[in-house]
Amino acid sequence: MKNSWPELAIVLVEPKLNKNVGAVARAMKNFNIGRLLLISPGCDHLSDPARALSCGADDLLERAEVFTDLDTALADFKLVVGTTARLGKYC
């Protein structure tokens, strides 16, 4: 039986490259994480390049939830852990 993370979601804030969204969907599929939230995406997460890099995780791209702001996306979560490689308004 595969491990599952039903309460876990991956949130991408303002992703700019559709290929990156596809790669994240692929990693999520490998770990059986089924909920992808996109905040103000600057790319088309349903594009051919995104689908190509998702390597079979098209279903995650199709079910991705799109929000205009982070507060709305996280409103129902009890625990949020965030990481970034950039310094800026969220650090």
**How confident is the model over 70-80, as pLDDT tens digits?**
999 999 999 99
Per-residue pLDDT band at 1 (split at 50, 70, 90): very low
CA quadruple 70, 73, 74, 75: dihedral positive or negative? positive
Per-residue model confidence (pLDDT) at position 86: 75
- Kind and range of the H or E run holding 38: strand 35-39
81 occurs within a structural domain? no
Q: Establish if 80 belongs to a structural domain.
A: no
The domain of 69 spans: 9-73
pLDDT mean across residues, the chain: 91
Task: Give the full edge-to-edge strand order of the sheet including 35-39.
Answer: 9-13, 35-39, 65-67
Residue at 3 is within a domain: no
Residue at 38 is within a domain: yes
DSSP state of 25: H
Residue 37 CB neighbours (<10 A)? 18
Residue 89 lies in a domain: no
17: CATH = 3.40.1280.10
Residue 79 lies in a domain: no
Question: What's the total number of domains in the chain?
Answer: 1
From the list 34, 39, 46, 28, the residue with the least C-alpha distance to 66 is 39
State the pTM of this model.
0.87
Q: Say if residue 7's pLDDT is above 90.
A: no
